[in-house]
Amino acid sequence: MKKLFLIFIIIPVIGCQTNQKPDKETVLKRINDDLNFPRTIDYEIFCSDPAHAKKLLDLKLDEKGMVAIQKTQRLKDIGSPLISFTEAAQPYLIKPTAKERKLDIQKVKIAEETIDNIKLGNSSESNGKTSIPVTYTVTCTNITPFSVLMKRDFSKPIDRSATLRFTDGKWKLIKP
């Protein structure tokens, strides 16, 4: 009888333990949903801007066959696009909105950011809320020839951190 009484006491205590440490797949899904991963890094090119045309010339994107740049312009052509994109660049172009088309803006894909590695720290409890520090690695894949437009080295992974907090019966990501 004592054993039966002890079992009825222990089972509810064990069953009520709902804020167990989440597994890595759950954390990955939470980070992907809350921080919009995987995501595309893009860059806006103003096709009528001489400064953007010069930047593309300096980076030799015309020699790589990605863009064609009109080096001279007549007075009547002012405001028309100086930069046009070749067939080789078509897979990296993002379809412009009506407003972007009107302003001669073309977005190009630079790379795609994905989460590669997740590490969960030790949980801590304060004010009745459990928190777990999370460290994750962001890597860039599908790096395009247009990546030279940004000064970042896309081949190196970036370590970031966030915190998971157990509130209202579920785990929530506290953005960094």
**Is pLDDT of 24 > 80?**
yes
3-state helix, strand, coil in the chain (%, to 5): 30, 35, 35
Domain segments of the chain as ranges: 20-174
pLDDT at res. 90:
96
Which backbone phi and psi does 160 adopt, to 5 degrees?
-130, 165
Average pLDDT, the chain: 86
Residue 167 pLDDT grade (very low, low, confident, very high; cuts 50, 70, 90) = confident
**Is pLDDT of 151 > 70?**
yes
Q: Around Cβ 164, how many Cβ atoms within 10 Å?
A: 22
CA distance 102 to 104: 6
Residue 7 pLDDT grade (very low, low, confident, very high; cuts 50, 70, 90) = low
pLDDT at res. 57:
95
pLDDT at res. 11:
52
Of 161, 81, 169, 70, the C-alpha closest to 118 is: 161
pLDDT at res. 158:
94
**Is pLDDT of 125 > 90?**
no
pLDDT at res. 174:
87
Strand-pair category, 124-126 with 105-120: unpaired
Say if pTM beats, i.e. exceeds, 0.95: no
CA distance 168 to 42: 37
pLDDT at res. 130:
87
Residue 176 pLDDT grade (very low, low, confident, very high; cuts 50, 70, 90) = low
Strand-pair category, 170-174 with 158-167: antiparallel
pLDDT at res. 5:
47
Residue 128 pLDDT grade (very low, low, confident, very high; cuts 50, 70, 90) = confident
Tens of pLDDT, residue by residue over 51-94, are: 999 999 999 999 999 999 998 777 766 767 899 999 999 999 99
